[in-house]
Structure 1
Amino acid sequence: MTQLLTPGDGPGPPTGAEAAGSPLQTVAPGDVFAALDTSPRGLGAADAVTRRDRYGPNELPRAGRRGVWRQLAAQFTDLFAIVLLVASAITFLAYVLQQPPDAGTFRLAVAILAVVVLNASIGFAQEYSAERTAQSLQAMVPHTCRVLRDGERREVPARELVPGDVVVLEAGDAVSADCRLVEAHEVSVNNAALTGESDAVGRTGDAEAAGPLLEARNCVFMGTDVVAGTAKAVVFATGPATEFGRIFRLASAAPGQKTPLQLQVASMARRVAGVALAIGAALFAVRVPTGQPFVETFVFALGVMVALVPEGLPATLSVSLAIGVRRMARRHALVKKLLAVEALGSTTVVCTDKTGTLTQAEMTVTQVWAGGASHPVSGVGYAPVGEVTDPLAVRELLRAAALCSNARLVPPLAADQSGSRAGHRSWRVLGDTTEGALLVAAEKAGIDPAAEEDAAPRVAENPFDSVRKMMSTVHRSRDSGTYHAYVKGAPQELLARCTGIDWKGERRALTDELRAEVVAANDELASQGLRVLAAAWRPVSGSDVTQDEAESGLTLLGLLGMLDPPRPEVSAAVDACRQAGIRIVMVTGDHPLTAEAVARRVDIVRQAAPTVVTGASLDSMDDDALDGLLAGPAELLLCRVSPEHKMRVVTAFQRRGEVVAVTGDGANDAPALKHADIGVAMGASGTDVAREAAVMVLLDDSFASIATAVRLGRSVYQNIRKFLIYLFSHNIAELVPILAATFVGFPLVPITAVQILAIDLGSDVLPALALGAEPPEPDVMDRPPRSRRERLFSAGVMGRILFLGGIQALGVCVVFFWHIHAAGIPYSRFTEDDAVYREAITMVQAGIVVSQFFNALAVRTERQSVFRIGLLSNPWLLAAGCFGLGLMAAISYLPALQAVFHTAPLAAADWAVLAGFGALLLAAEETRKWWLRSHRPGARKGAGR
């Protein structure tokens, strides 16, 4: 721990919890005020202002976001963008050097620049929109809190709290800063957001021995909730200096990880750019010695380079990923970074939290035992929806439990109107979550707790304490004027104070046989992983009855078993992930027995004895031992872990080559969420720190959305491969005619760079996007995860590119040279303005566009016939192809576009020839698929797999 700054020290927020050289938790309650330079009356108004100026506001710093202009500028740092920017600049320079200047060179330079701007605009629009959608309010810190200022209780904005403030806490309050308790009356705190444990933890104002600050029972921390009792506490740390702030800084320092697709696209860009530059340079070196003009030859080589660079790929990739983002958003999964969509498809390990991720984070009564019979209770969570089997038989038990409770159920509308926690659209509990579960069970049995309290108002209370492990209340009946004590607590303790038992509506003496039956029922409920409470009652003489009298000679009413229920959809999601070859490891701050019970309910654990490792055991392991642990049994539970442990586990998995997704909702999960390949935060129940660190937010907090996201992510990767085959195959058709013309001595290019850009952006992007919107294949979740080392351009993908591209190249070369030779003019007499030459290059451009229409249909499947899935099953693809054909017709027939592209009108016979070559391509691909199905039935499915 570090020294707490007090007034008089240097500026800056406090960074620890020591006072006068001693840990603050060891200081006696009466000495805390002096240690923090305050008083029981709190700070004065002037002193509070001075400290606020010194320490700053009590809020966590917003994560730094790049400005709009920086985000836009980042779009121009893509390697393809850099190559094209350089090409555009060189082309402008060539235009200036030409004598006389060639308008075609100028148009080429402008076209290349326009391509870069268009790609950057699309990419920026998609990412900016996703980030804007993902921004959330800082809801973990409440807006106001109660403090003592000059001895008076006041409500002040939480951001104005300063060290030395005396705060007043009650059940239902959220803690606004790190505080040392000086008074505590039966206080319990839910630390789930900070430690991952959903159970309420008792707190005291007494001094304690030195130890870890988070384990100090006389301290409460920012971001946690008071679930029971009242207290006074003195603030010792605010904002970034709190434990919550420490985790926030840890998460901020964790470096972001590049996704597999980012790495592969970057590698592909480097290789394609290198090949394009090499071929362009080689052609320039070949043509210059032949006497061709230097500048024109350079522009020719530049055109070849442009032909090889897939100009439309960045835009296509961004928009295709955005389609995946929108699909996931419809499934309640918000993806903040486009590339994370694909990375989900390669996930091999999911490290999942328990509370709020696999479970509801809402205690629920599921079994009621009374009179020798068990009564199941349906429904989960705090919404009083469900029913109790045979409610009349357990009415008195549930009525007593509800009366002996201090919690309060708050409906959704009341929660929103109160303003205390804006954005809560579900039932919630003010007070102890266990008592809240009892109230919900009572309402399911048709009991109105408020009406029962009105009919029998409370006149005395003996609060729960950890020694006797029970609580009792005394009530006076308005009708009869009689007094009754109701008691609830641990079954073993309560049973020892009972002399009778309510057995099917009548009181019986609690014999040894009946006592043994109660013990057996308790053991049965406990073996199911349930937390068990017992409830009892007795008549008393009046409101001044002593605690011993109220809690002795009791009549046992029955037992109540409750749990933090798993989400109902989790088991199916776990099975889907297991079927997809994804390993699920529970990483939680909770108790091992609780974690194992939940893991069994959701099928994460199926074996009799899974491997359970605690954080303390992880501390004793070196990296080699940890690697051995993670490489061992599939069913692994990591319990009682800290944020540092989670980060270490994620790093160890990544060191083994795994693609790791981490789920969580608490601030304690944030470092691991950011460090993982895919951080998945809960949107409804999660903290802002967790949502900020994650790249994906589950808006409905449903773990099942992870399985859906993996399915969509795998589909995105498959679709990316489809449109890569589609895009790169026609690059071959653009390059081969140029190379052929060079080597046969034809002085002009068969297709110009401006025509190539028109194909790449005008005729290819929309069909590629339609391919990116193909639905997932039925067996996509039956395949193992893709290896991190698997290349985007595998041998299978390259084979299809060469096969389809070769057919297209052959077709356009035939139509070009056939048209040139049919004119009967020597090569040397052709000029750019020659009508035959313009018709020939128009044939080449139209031939590529037509063949790509058929190519788009061909690449939709790897093995299955496109006729089997239906030519009309993707109407967007047909519409995009027709748009490309229409654009090509406009370039061929409209005079304005003829002037730009140097094209000429084509005859109907020309279109028929081109359509014949396109049909030949589709027939060849269908033949290949038929051969693959017939001769390699066991081959792995999927492009390049």
Structure 2
Amino acid sequence: MARSGTQTAVPQSRPGFASPDVAGALDRLGVTSRGLSADDAALRLTRDGPNELPVAHGPSMLRRFAAQFTDLFAVMLLVAAVITLVAYELGRPRDTGNLQLAVAILAVVLLNAVIGFGQEFAAERTAEALRAMVPHRTVVVRDGERVDVPAVSLVVGDILVLEAGDAVPADARVIEAHGLTVDNSALTGESEPARRTPDAVAADGPPLDAGNLVWMGTTVSAGTARAVVVATAKDTEFGRIYQLTAQTRTEHSPLQRQVAGMARRVAAGAFCLGALVFAIRLPLGGPLVTSFVFALGVMVALVPEGLPATMSVALAVGVRRMAHRKALIKKLVAVETLGSTTVICTDKTGTLTKAEMTVQAVWVPDRTHAVSGAGYEPVGDVDDPEPLRGTLQAAVLCCDARLLPPDSAGGWRVLGDTTEGALLVAAAKAGVDLTAEQRAAPRIEEFPFDADRKLMTTVHRTGETTIAYVKGAPQELLARCTRIVQGDEGVVAISDAMRARVAAVNDDMSRDALRVLGVAYRPVSADAGQADAEQDLILLGLIGMLDPPRPEVSAAIATCERAGIRIVMVTGDSALTAEAIARKVGLITGASPRALTGADLDHLDEQQLRTLLADPSPVLFARVKPEHKMRVVSAFKDLGEIVAVTGDGANDAPALRRADIGVAMGASGTDVAREAAVMVLLDDSFASIAAAVERGRSVYQNIRTFLIYVFTSNVGELVPILVATFAGFPLVPLSAVQVLAIDLGSDVLPALALGTLQPEPGTMDKPPRSPRESLFSAAVVRRILFLGSIQAAGVTAVFFWHIHSAGLPFSSFTAANPVYREALTMAQAGIVISQIFVGLTLRSDRLSIVTLGLRSSGRMLAAQGLSLVAICAISYVPVLQRLFHTAPLSGADWAILVACGILLLLADEIRKAALRSRQRRHADSPVEQTLPASRRSRLQAR
């Protein structure tokens, strides 16, 4: 078979092998039922290449590490280091403090690079995971003999030998099958195993719907088969998904984009303001180096040198706290992105449900018995189990599956058809001893299920009698029944009224999205054939089952919706099943939603799809393929939404990569999904998403809080320098060395403490922030200017008050003047002391420090204590006095500085009180009471 290597070649070519009969398919591939010869297989392997997915070649480790230094904040820090080195070189005498601080800045840049590189290196291994899902060895027929060969050596034309539990190593056309069912959930998202037969199918149908094709990466649930390989490696359906995943670019998170924008604005502002100050001071006759150092102080005062390290550590704390809630975050910035999520596109199977078929109800004339519990663990209750024993005994005897207890490979699981596994679990819940039943009634004959009669029959010897047990589609089974077991009456003739009653029960169960099986029996002779065994049957009852929702999902969905997050189901399963599950978990509560299939999406252009999604009314997508899921995600992103996507199958990988946040299931999900996602739920619990969103929102709020903290300090540093410039004072109120000491020393630890604050109450009762909202929103800027101006006024006042106390004109001051050194120390200490009070008031936007108390501020107080120790050392330790050009302060000096800090705290307490009062008035307003809850919460957030 020619290999085009294009993304569309596979879907176009494989239906051709599905349509002819078996002989025609073999003839097209140039092979007989004896398989390929060893020489022919070797030639095809040389021509087509190995059956393995190509390794994605990204940038080298060195280039990826070097890329960490191209981030604008890293560039700003490097520029600050270079400027400091220039100041060191130009200074006469040279100031070793500048050299030391330049080295410190470079160390911060290096630390940021190491953290970022480490996170990226561990994050993306999707190609390796896809390769790992291909089985390492497989059985094929070559030269008429079964041989065990490496899966990578498979070629087109090889004949596979498949049995229950085998992973399918390539796309293949079934040529012989005995009760074959295949679990396609990794590709399609459908929870029920799909029957496969050798029969020809229509050539124009979707490839994944072809009933005689099996696909790489799927698993044989039950039965045996032989299948001829029609595609390998990247030409398989799995390879197509690989290419979709590889072609999807990873985009920057909202936080990354906002920080980059902030860095550009800050860098531009620092450069322009520094150049302006230099241009003003140089004509005044000062030395060139002095004017340059003065301008340097302005530039450095605006650059938040400690911010990247602070932000990285704050995000890392969020990652660690999420891990405690069973949510593993693989990228630091994903923490904040999750908190700003506005839409969650959720899979059904394995995400909202357990991906384990479970019996929900058993009907026997004339009552329905409920069955509790979920999954394959035989724990749960059966409502009045005694009348059901006969039905369940017959059902489990007519099963090929096995229920396996927990072992080193995991918990309870089913080997074989999952529908039959559900029957075994229900019987165990009702007290049926599976082993004893099979021993008491050994099987002597089996007539496997086929798509035409939709029945499976097994014949058993029980003592001196022989009994046929039959299960299958209720309509087919009912047509073959002439009698029914009806309570105390025993076996009676089935009336027309009872037939109608059975049909009605079947319809009711189907409307609840239950998959319904009928169970019947009849005594037969030991040599009875299929036709005899499946006529004149005695109906025992109906069994309804589904893949049940996870018990914690309903509360998690309610929490997300209360938080203003829209949830949309996107599944490969049927629309009827999807809607039923959506109603059970509370995702849909009113009228039937708009339900669109993959075929419907194919008839919509991008604008039509965006218009449909812009309508907030409920919608769900069913029978979708990977490219459909990607289209839905892309359309939401085009509408400006921040999109999280959940999934567990390989078919989810492209959408997981395309989304802002890909959320994979850790326990039941495939390696492909886990590696494509940036968040993995270790417990597969949808409830962990709600907890992670709350933590993400808290992280973003904490980032904004320490941004206010850092830039408040920068305002306090910048204003005294500007005032000195325009007042004609020849020296700087704060040197570049002192500014760097504040930014990299005194500010970092308290900012880190602010970055670890717990979520405030009501965090999940507010709508998501707008994706267009800037980190420097109007509220943030107002608070920075409010706190910064008070701090700057105090620092400027104490500096010039101390200068004025010397009684000397400005022109008489030199750097060696002791009064100037004391004033310099006052300015530096004034900022540090003021920041202590800023940190205390920033713990909440609205709550008073009296309400918050100090007990919950242990980390903050410890960090501020270290800052206070540092500024005292700078003031009193002779070595540091020489380094920072400082002088010891008196007790009166410290009292003045503390008084300035207290005034700042009182001013912000007055602001908070006014804000709380305004919010209470809004909450009591009759007009506001008529607004939707989301609108009220937005007003209150202002």
TM-score (norm 2): 0.93
Range with bigger deviation, 842-851 or 360-369 = 842-851
The aligned residue for residue 237 of structure 1 is 231
Counterparts of 1:165 and 1:832 in 2: how far apart (Å)?
Answer: 87
Does the 8 A contact of 2:126 with 2:675 survive in 1? Answer: no
Matched, 1:533 2:517: yes
The aligned residue for residue 778 of structure 2 is 795
Structure 1 residues 516-665: aligned runs within 5 Å: 516-542=500-526, 544-665=527-648
Matched, 1:272 2:266: yes
Question: RMSD over aligned Cα, in angstroms?
Answer: 2.7
Matched, 1:260 2:254: yes
Counterparts of 2:879 and 2:939 in 1: how far apart (Å)?
Answer: 44
Counterparts of 1:341 and 1:135 in 2: how far apart (Å)?
Answer: 25
Deviation at 1:394, TM superposition (A): 1.0
Structure 1 residues 69-84: aligned runs within 5 Å: 69-84=62-77
Counterparts of 2:882 and 2:940 in 1: how far apart (Å)?
Answer: 41
Counterparts of 2:586 and 2:6 in 1: how far apart (Å)?
Answer: 49
SS at structure 2 position matched to 1:500: strand
Does the 8 A contact of 1:15 with 1:237 survive in 2? Answer: no
Deviation at 1:553, TM superposition (A): 2.3
2:713 to 730, 753, 761: 730
Structure 1 residues 461-860: aligned runs within 5 Å: 461-477=446-462, 480-504=463-487, 506-542=490-526, 544-860=527-843
Matched, 1:153 2:146: yes
Counterparts of 2:662 and 2:583 in 1: how far apart (Å)?
Answer: 24
Range with bigger deviation, 757-766 or 891-900 = 891-900
Q: Give the % identical residues.
A: 62
Range with bigger deviation, 714-723 or 650-659 = 650-659
Matched, 1:177 2:170: yes
Deviation at 1:452, TM superposition (A): 1.6
Counterparts of 2:941 and 2:264 in 1: how far apart (Å)?
Answer: 21
Matched, 1:4 2:2: yes
Deviations 1:101-144 (A, max 9, x none): 44454445434434433433444455556669999686533343
Does the 8 A contact of 1:123 with 1:314 survive in 2? Answer: no
Counterparts of 2:938 and 2:175 in 1: how far apart (Å)?
Answer: 67
2:313 to 313, 319, 322: 319
Q: Please tell me the residue identity of whatever aligns with 2:340.
A: S
Deviation at 1:393, TM superposition (A): 1.7
Q: Please tell me the residue identity of whatever aligns with 1:146.
A: V
1:164 to 133, 137, 157: 157
Deviations 1:639-682 (A, max 9, x none): 22222222222222222222222222222222222222222222
Change over 3 Å in CA distance of 1:37–1:842 after alignment to 2:
farther
TM-score (norm 1): 0.93
Deviation at 1:442, TM superposition (A): 1.0
1:441 to 406, 413, 426: 426
Does the 8 A contact of 1:166 with 1:234 survive in 2? Answer: yes
Range with bigger deviation, 437-446 or 103-112 = 103-112
The aligned residue for residue 191 of structure 1 is 184
Matched, 1:915 2:913: no
Deviation at 1:461, TM superposition (A): 0.5
Q: Please tell me the residue identity of whatever aligns with 1:170.
A: E
Deviation at 1:732, TM superposition (A): 0.6
Matched, 1:359 2:353: yes
Range with bigger deviation, 170-179 or 274-283 = 170-179
SS at structure 2 position matched to 1:425: coil
SS at structure 2 position matched to 1:535: strand
Range with bigger deviation, 892-901 or 667-676 = 892-901
Counterparts of 2:107 and 2:285 in 1: how far apart (Å)?
Answer: 33
Counterparts of 1:131 and 1:206 in 2: how far apart (Å)?
Answer: 41
Does the 8 A contact of 1:795 with 1:944 survive in 2? Answer: no
Counterparts of 2:79 and 2:895 in 1: how far apart (Å)?
Answer: 40
Range with bigger deviation, 88-97 or 468-477 = 88-97
Change over 3 Å in CA distance of 1:134–1:565 after alignment to 2:
farther
Does the 8 A contact of 1:323 with 1:773 survive in 2? Answer: yes
SS at structure 1 position matched to 2:53: coil
The aligned residue for residue 286 of structure 1 is 280
SS at structure 2 position matched to 1:937: helix
SS at structure 1 position matched to 2:770: coil
The aligned residue for residue 933 of structure 2 is none
Deviation at 1:938, TM superposition (A): 5.0
Change over 3 Å in CA distance of 1:574–1:132 after alignment to 2:
same
Deviation at 1:379, TM superposition (A): 0.8
Range with bigger deviation, 799-808 or 173-182 = 173-182
Does the 8 A contact of 1:13 with 1:55 survive in 2? Answer: no
Counterparts of 2:128 and 2:740 in 1: how far apart (Å)?
Answer: 37
Gaps of 5+ in 2: 923-936
Range with bigger deviation, 104-113 or 631-640 = 104-113
Does the 8 A contact of 2:126 with 2:676 survive in 1? Answer: no
Does the 8 A contact of 2:108 with 2:309 survive in 1? Answer: no
Deviation at 1:357, TM superposition (A): 1.5
SS at structure 1 position matched to 2:544: strand
Change over 3 Å in CA distance of 1:104–1:433 after alignment to 2:
closer
SS at structure 1 position matched to 2:920: coil
SS at structure 2 position matched to 1:714: helix
Range with bigger deviation, 454-463 or 547-556 = 547-556
Range with bigger deviation, 789-798 or 157-166 = 157-166
Range with bigger deviation, 809-818 or 101-110 = 101-110
Counterparts of 2:481 and 2:202 in 1: how far apart (Å)?
Answer: 38
The aligned residue for residue 24 of structure 1 is 17
Does the 8 A contact of 2:834 with 2:900 survive in 1? Answer: yes
Deviations 1:140-178 (A, max 9, x none): 333432222443323334333333322111122221111
Change over 3 Å in CA distance of 1:163–1:135 after alignment to 2:
closer
Deviation at 1:684, TM superposition (A): 2.1
Deviation at 1:380, TM superposition (A): 0.5
SS at structure 2 position matched to 1:412: coil
Deviation at 1:510, TM superposition (A): 2.3
Range with bigger deviation, 786-795 or 35-44 = 35-44
SS at structure 2 position matched to 1:147: strand
Range with bigger deviation, 677-686 or 851-860 = 677-686
The aligned residue for residue 930 of structure 2 is none
Does the 8 A contact of 2:404 with 2:414 survive in 1? Answer: yes
Structure 1 residues 870-885: aligned runs within 5 Å: 870-885=853-868
Change over 3 Å in CA distance of 1:25–1:554 after alignment to 2:
closer
The aligned residue for residue 51 of structure 2 is 58
Gaps of 5+ in 1: 417-423
- Work out the number of aligned pairs and report it: 926
Counterparts of 2:710 and 2:941 in 1: how far apart (Å)?
Answer: 16
Counterparts of 1:661 and 1:860 in 2: how far apart (Å)?
Answer: 29
Counterparts of 2:900 and 2:56 in 1: how far apart (Å)?
Answer: 56
Does the 8 A contact of 1:611 with 1:633 survive in 2? Answer: no
Q: Please tell me the residue identity of whatever aligns with 1:520.
A: A
Deviation at 1:208, TM superposition (A): 3.3
The aligned residue for residue 295 of structure 1 is 289
Deviation at 1:892, TM superposition (A): 2.5
Deviation at 1:52, TM superposition (A): 4.2
Deviations 1:841-868 (A, max 9, x none): 2222222111111111101111111221
Range with bigger deviation, 732-741 or 63-72 = 63-72
Deviation at 1:779, TM superposition (A): 1.4
Counterparts of 1:31 and 1:58 in 2: how far apart (Å)?
Answer: 24
